[in-house]
Amino acid sequence: GEPGTVPALDLIEARLRAADIASVRVRHTVSVPEDRGSWLELSGGARIAVTPLPANGAATAGTGGAALSGPLLDAGRGRLADFAGKRAAGAIVVLDADSGEGWTNAAMLGALAVVVRDPASLDRARLAALSVPATLPFPRFAAELPRPLPADATARLQSTVVWTPRTAWSLCALVPGAGTPPTHMGLITTGYEANGGMPNPGATRAWNAALLCEAALAQAADPPRRSALFVWNGARGEQFRGLREI
């Protein structure tokens, strides 16, 4: 459902078209979280944009539009030792990008929310550690924050994230076999969309999408007896909706 999927499909289609392989797009409708405004306002008046991290389970990301106010607490990697002598209850806790599951300690200790520093360094593995599959409505964000934080700083955090319908696409290309009846056909499929909760170029699925292109081109150049339907499936974030609807 993100804009980057369309240029990705354009590249795949162009590769197939160059080998005279016809393709068709299949449309799907998915629900995606849309950030309607998220920011952290420091006690000195500076306002910093924050990016909501993916929701836990069925919870909604952000603060639901509510404003959360409290002291800013720098807890490094979020280990229990990092909270020693500090009061996390009622605070907005700031963690390092490599803090892993340290945010769960902040939640357990009564923090209002967590803001993770240095969003550019949040790769897929780090993002995975910043969420859980259980429905835990605890706000988590990423933002560029000063280091060290201003002494005795307080902040106000507000974020509105809503679910909105978007269009997702799958791409299908049939490569006929040599003399096999049309009822005999194999299905070869892969994803092409990037996963991840942060805006990124989305190269996660590039290698398997490219490999499927090469497989389709090879079959078209030297067809086996059985036909093959090649599918670059989309809408994977909704329990593989693209595969289920094709």
Residue 205 clears pLDDT 70, i.e. is over it: no
**Which 3-state string (H, E, C) describes 105-152?**
HHHHCCCCEEEECCHHHCCHHHHHHCCCCCCCCCCEEECCCCCCCCCC
Residue 195 clears pLDDT 70, i.e. is over it: no
- DSSP state letter for 32: E
Residue 220 clears pLDDT 70, i.e. is over it: yes
Phi-psi group of 124: left, alpha or beta (phi > 0 → left; psi -120 to 50 → alpha; rest → beta) = alpha
3-state SS class at 158: strand
Instruction: Work out the percent of the chain whose per-residue pLDDT is above 90.
Output: 58
What's the mean pLDDT in 232-246?
Answer: 86
Tokens read off for 43: 């006690």
> Residue 29: which residues within 8 A CB-CB, separation 6 or more?
165, 166, 167, 168
Closest C-alpha to 92, from 56, 48, 40:
40
pLDDT confidence tier of residue 201, bands split at 50, 70 and 90: very low
Query: Residues 60, 141: contact at Cβ < 8 Å?
Result: no
Q: What is the pLDDT of residues 77-113, one digit of tens each?
A: 999 999 999 999 999 999 999 999 999 999 999 999 9
This prediction has a pTM of: 0.77
Bridge partner residues of 68 (DSSP): 157
Residue 203 clears pLDDT 70, i.e. is over it: no
Residue 213 clears pLDDT 70, i.e. is over it: yes
Instruction: Work out the percent of the chain whose per-residue pLDDT is above 70.
Output: 93
Query: Residues 7, 124: contact at Cβ < 8 Å?
Result: no
Q: How far apart are CA 181 and CA 188, in angstroms?
A: 18
Q: How far apart are CA 235 and CA 73, in angstroms?
A: 38
Query: Residues 146, 46: contact at Cβ < 8 Å?
Result: no
Residue 200 clears pLDDT 60, i.e. is over it: no
Q: How far apart are CA 53 and CA 178, in angstroms?
A: 50
Q: What is the pLDDT of residues 35-65, one digit of tens each?
A: 999 999 998 888 999 999 988 887 888 999 9
Give the pLDDT score at 123.
82
Closest C-alpha to 54, from 33, 30, 77, 31:
33
Residue 27 clears pLDDT 60, i.e. is over it: yes
